[in-house]
Amino acid sequence: MTAEYKVLGDVAVITLANPPVNGLGYATRVGITEGLSKALDDAAVKAIVLTGAGKAFSGGADIKEFGTPKAIQDPNLLSVILALEHSTKPIVAAIHSVCMGGGLELALGCHYRVAAPGTSVALPEVKLGLIPGAGGTQRLPRVLGVETALNMIVSGEPVKSELLASLPGQKLFDKLAASPESLFDEAVEFAKSVAAKGGDLPLVRNLPCKHPQGDAYFQFARNTVGAMSKNYPAPLKCVDAAEAATKRKFDDGMAEERRHFTNLMFTPESVALRHLFMAERAASRIPDVADDTPQRTIKTVGVIGAGTMGGGISMNFLNAGIPVTILETKQEALDRGVATIRKNYEAQVKKGKLKADKYDQRMSLLKTTLSYDDLKDADLIIEAVFEELGVKEKVFGELDRVAKPGAILASNTSTLDVDKIAAFTKRPQDVIGMHFFSPANVMKLLEVVRGAKTGKDVLATVMSVAKKIKKTAVVSGVCDGFIGNRMIEQYSRQAGFLLDEGATPQQVDKAVEKFGFAMGPFRMGDLAGNDIGWAIRKRRSVDFPDMKYSRTADKLCELGRFGQKTGAGWYDYKAGKRDAIPSALVDKMIEEHRKELGITPRKISDDEIVQRLVYALVNEGAHILEDGIASKSGDIDMVYLTGYGFPIWRGGPMHYANQVGLYNVAEAMKRFAKNPRDDASFWQPAPLIQKLVADGKQFG
Ligand SMILES: NC(=O)c1ccc[n+]([C@@H]2O[C@H](COP(=O)([O-])OP(=O)(O)OC[C@H]3O[C@@H](n4cnc5c(N)ncnc54)[C@H](O)[C@@H]3O)[C@@H](O)[C@H]2O)c1
Q: For residue 465, tell me if it sits in a domain.
A: yes
pLDDT score for 672: 97
Residue 700 covered by a domain: no
Tell me the pLDDT band of 210, cut-offs 50, 70 and 90. Answer: very high
Alpha-carbon Rg for the chain in angstroms: 29
Q: Give yes or no: residues 160 and 71 share one domain.
A: yes
List the Cα angle 449/452/457 in 5-degree steps.
70
The amino acid present at 67, given as its one-letter code, is G
Catalytic residue at 162? no
Q: What is the pLDDT of residues 325-372, one digit of tens each?
A: 999 999 999 999 999 999 999 999 999 999 999 999 999 999 999 999
Q: How confident is residue 537, by pLDDT bands cut at 50, 70 and 90?
A: confident
State the pLDDT at residue 547: 80
Assess whether 347 and 394 both reside in one domain.
Answer: yes
Q: 224-244 in b/e burial notation, b at 16+ Cβ within 10 A?
A: ebeeebeebbbbbbbbbbbbb
Q: What is the domain count for the chain?
A: 3
Per-residue pLDDT tens over the stretch 391-430: 999 999 999 999 999 999 999 999 899 999 999 999 999 9
Instruction: Name the E strands within 345-462.
Output: 366-369, 380-383, 408-411, 431-436, 445-449
User: Looking at ligand 1, which atom is closest to the CA of residue 413?
Assistant: 41
Residue 271 maps to a domain? no
* 143 plus 230 within the same structural domain: yes
CATH number at residue 321: 3.40.50.720
Annotated active-site residue 105? The verdict is yes
Asked whether residue 196 is assigned to any structural domain, the reply reads: yes
For residue 512, report the distance from its CA to the centre of ligand 1, in Å.
31
Of all protein residues, the one whose alpha carbon is nearest to atom 29 of ligand 1 is 385
Pocket test for ligand 1, best of 325, 338, 374, 385 (most atoms within 8 A of CB): 385
CB 134 within 8 A of CB 104: no
424 and 527 within one domain: no
- Residue 280 maps to a domain: no
CATH classification at residue 74: 3.90.226.10
Instruction: Identify the residue whose C-alpha is closest to ligand 1 atom 7.
Output: 414
The one catalytic residue in 4, 34, 65, 105 is 105
Residues 304, 305, 311, 312: what is their CA dihedral angle, to the nearest 10 degrees?
Answer: -70
Distance from C-alpha of 648 to C-alpha of 662, rounded to nearest angstrom: 20
Residue 15 lies in a domain: yes
Name the residue of 325, 414, 415, 564 whose CB sits within 8 Å of the most ligand 1 atoms, as the mutation to test its pocket: 414
On whether both 520 and 544 belong to a single domain, the answer is yes
Q: Which residue lies with its CA nearest to atom 2 of ligand 1?
A: 438
Asked if 648 and 630 sit in the same domain, the reply is yes
- What is the band of 584 on the pLDDT scale with cuts at 50, 70, 90? very high
Of 478, 509, 541, which one is at a domain's C-terminal end? Answer: 478
User: Which listed residue (4, 34, 65, 125) is catalytic?
Assistant: 125
Same domain, 340 and 464: yes
Of 478, 511, 532, the one marking the end of a domain is 478
pLDDT of 540 over the 80 cut: no
Q: Which domain holds residue 230?
A: 3-264
Q: Which of 478, 512, 542 is the last residue of a domain?
A: 478
The reply to whether 101 and 83 lie within a common domain is yes
- 312 and 387 fall within a common domain: yes
Cβ contact 593:552 at 8 Å? yes
Vertex 300 angle, CA 381 and 407, to 5°: 45
Query: Could you give the C-alpha distances from 79 to 85, 105, 335, in angstroms and in order?
Result: 10, 12, 65
Residues 152, 219 within the same domain: yes
Q: What is the tens place of the pLDDT at every residue in 655-667?
A: 999 999 999 999 9
The residue-averaged pLDDT of 165-183 equals 98
Residues 327, 409 share a domain? yes
pTM score of the predicted model: 0.92
Q: Does a structural domain hold residue 277? A: no
CB of 418 closer than 6 A to ligand 1?
no
Residue 679: pLDDT band with limits 50, 70, 90: very high
Q: How close is the Cα of 482 to the center of ligand 1, in Å?
A: 18
| Percent of the chain residues topping a pLDDT of 90 | 94
Residue of the CA atom closest to atom 12 of ligand 1: 384
Is it the case that residue 543 has pLDDT exceeding 90? no
Q: Is residue 281 part of a domain?
A: no
**What's the gap between Cα 348 and its chain centre?**
23
Query: 3-state DSSP call for residue 367?
Result: strand
328 lines ligand 1 (CB under 6 A): yes
Sign of CA dihedral 640, 641, 645, 649: positive
Same domain (yes/no): 107, 12 = yes
- In the chain, pLDDT over 70 holds for what percent of residues? 100
Q: Is the pLDDT of residue 72 over 90?
A: no
Q: What is the mean pLDDT of the chain?
A: 96
What's the CATH code of the domain at 555? 1.10.1040.50
